[in-house]
């Protein structure tokens, strides 16, 4: 609303009888009669604003908003409002806010030209966007079947799978190859198509280095894209060598009262480029000391390798064993046991889903290897193997490696040392005179499957 200005009060003005009213010009009521002491009590036609003194518009410091020569619709003695807004006038519809998708539209225009993007709802999780306008012709050779012979599947990912192959003719005849097969049905966006093109370009550009997989050819048909690469061998025996080294160093850390909390392939380095090079565990930035009966509650680690009890904020050394299980799963099949597009989706899979042992190449993996992984990826941490127990599993027994002292021994020694003399006497009384008293090692052998925590050596 605008403001009203009038005469300042003086001794001769009667404030109680002076009233002036300002209303909109469009709905002004008929003038009312008021009394003014300036006119000696003579009635005059004024509009009333209660308790507001009048002032001549001639002395108003505000310029008139009306054109030159046009009379003001306000009565004499009332100056126009200094505010240029119209009283009691409101917009029926507010101005729309700026679109938050302008930068998205601009990005689409740069990628696809200035054509109008397709209308329709955004696909939800699990749905695929229609690909009616996508060009899935890569320009690669279309005679894959005539040049190469596919073998069995050796690995499967979320967007493709890899098979063994052999050349039929030319320089690659009878040579072992590896072929990555990417389904065109899964290329639902222009970005996914561009990813395939970029992968082939990168392989072409980097081919030739002795420590990079060799690239030979790229083919396509109506259903798939085939990337032909150098073949090789990777067996369970190779995975065993890596798993044994991981378990050995983790068992040592646990005996020293250290939990790593971030075990993943990126944190293991080879000492040299030799085939039989040793591995080194690195990055103890998230590690912590832990007591025998202590439970940690802070959520740390990498999403793909985090244990269920870590997400429940109550965990101990068993969380590292779960991470080793995830690494072993990847070494044996080439894909992660729990995968999603978001971190929250990965966590839901860790808590609720079970690893897939049905798809290739798991049918060709030995039963001992599958049992080994299942025992490490047990969601009940109390039933999970320790690092020393894992080294004695049938899948790794053929390997010539030393077995470290199990953390269970420390726990059982602590129980024995804290036992009362009466309990010790009872233990001795149960044995015959020819049998020696049970030692901590004997106790460890009998209870190794039921306990999973330890005591530090300095506490003995």
Give the pair of three-digit tokens for residue 411.
């726990």
Instruction: Judge contact between 37 and 17, C-beta under 8 A.
Output: yes
Give residue for tokens 């030995």: 366
Say whether 180 counts as a known binding-site residue. Answer: yes
**CA 266 centroid distance within chain:** 18
From 217, 262, 320, 406, active-site residue: 262
Q: Which residues on neighbouring strands pair with residue 176, listed in sequence order?
A: 166
262 is catalytic: yes
Whole-angstrom distance, CA of residue 289 vs CA of residue 293: 12
Binding-site sequence positions for ATP: 180
Catalytic residues: 262
Binding-site sequence positions: 180
């Amino acid at each position: 609303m605008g403001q009203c200005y009038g005469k300042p009060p003086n001794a001769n003005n009667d404030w109680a009888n002076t009233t002036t009213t300002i209303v909109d010009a469009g709905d002004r009521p008929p003038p009312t009669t008021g009394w003014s002491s300036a006119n000696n009590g003579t009635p005059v036609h004024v509009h009333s604003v209660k308790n507001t003194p009048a002032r001549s518009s001639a002395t108003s410091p505000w310029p008139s908003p009306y054109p030159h020569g046009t009379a003001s619709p306000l009565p004499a003695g009332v100056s126009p409002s200094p505010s240029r807004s119209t009283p009691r006038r409101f917009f029926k519809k507010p101005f729309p806010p700026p679109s938050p998708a302008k930068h998205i539209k601009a990005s689409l225009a740069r990628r696809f030209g200035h054509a109008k993007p397709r209308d329709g709802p955004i696909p939800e999780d699990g749905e695929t966007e229609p690909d009616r306008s996508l060009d899935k012709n890569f320009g690669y050779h279309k005679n894959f079947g005539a040049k190469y012979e596919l073998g069995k599947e050796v690995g499967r990912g979320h967007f493709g799978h890899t098979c063994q192959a052999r050349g039929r003719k030319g320089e690659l005849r009878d040579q072992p190859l590896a072929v990555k097969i990417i389904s065109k049905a899964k290329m639902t966006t222009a970005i996914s198509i561009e990813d395939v093109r970029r992968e082939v370009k990168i392989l072409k550009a980097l081919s030739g280095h002795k420590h990079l997989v060799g690239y030979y050819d790229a083919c396509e048909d109506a259903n798939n894209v085939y990337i032909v690469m150098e073949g090789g061998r990777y067996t369970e025996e190779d995975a065993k060598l890596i798993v044994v080294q991981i378990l050995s160093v983790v068992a040592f850390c646990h005996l020293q009262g250290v939990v790593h909390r971030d075990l993943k392939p990126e944190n293991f380095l080879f000492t040299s480029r030799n085939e039989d090079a040793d591995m080194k565990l690195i990055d103890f930035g998230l590690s912590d000391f832990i007591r025998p009966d202590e439970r940690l509650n802070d959520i740390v680690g990498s999403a793909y390798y985090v244990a269920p009890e870590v997400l429940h904020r109550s965990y101990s050394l068993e969380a590292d064993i779960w991470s080793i299980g995830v690494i072993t799963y990847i070494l044996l099949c080439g894909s992660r046991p729990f995968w999603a597009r978001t971190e929250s989706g990965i966590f839901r899979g860790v808590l609720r889903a079970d690893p897939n042992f049905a798809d290739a190449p798991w049918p060709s993996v030995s039963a001992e290897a599958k049992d080994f992984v299942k025992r490490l990826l047990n969601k009940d941490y109390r039933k999970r193997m320790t690092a020393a127990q894992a080294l004695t599993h049938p899948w790794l027994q053929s390997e010539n490696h030393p077995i470290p002292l199990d953390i269970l021994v420390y726990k059982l020694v602590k129980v024995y040392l804290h036992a009362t003399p009466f309990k010790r006497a009872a233990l001795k009384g149960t044995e015959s005179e020819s049998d020696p008293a049970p030692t901590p090692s004997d106790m460890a052998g009998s209870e190794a499957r039921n306990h999973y925590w330890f005591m530090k050596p300095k506490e003995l």
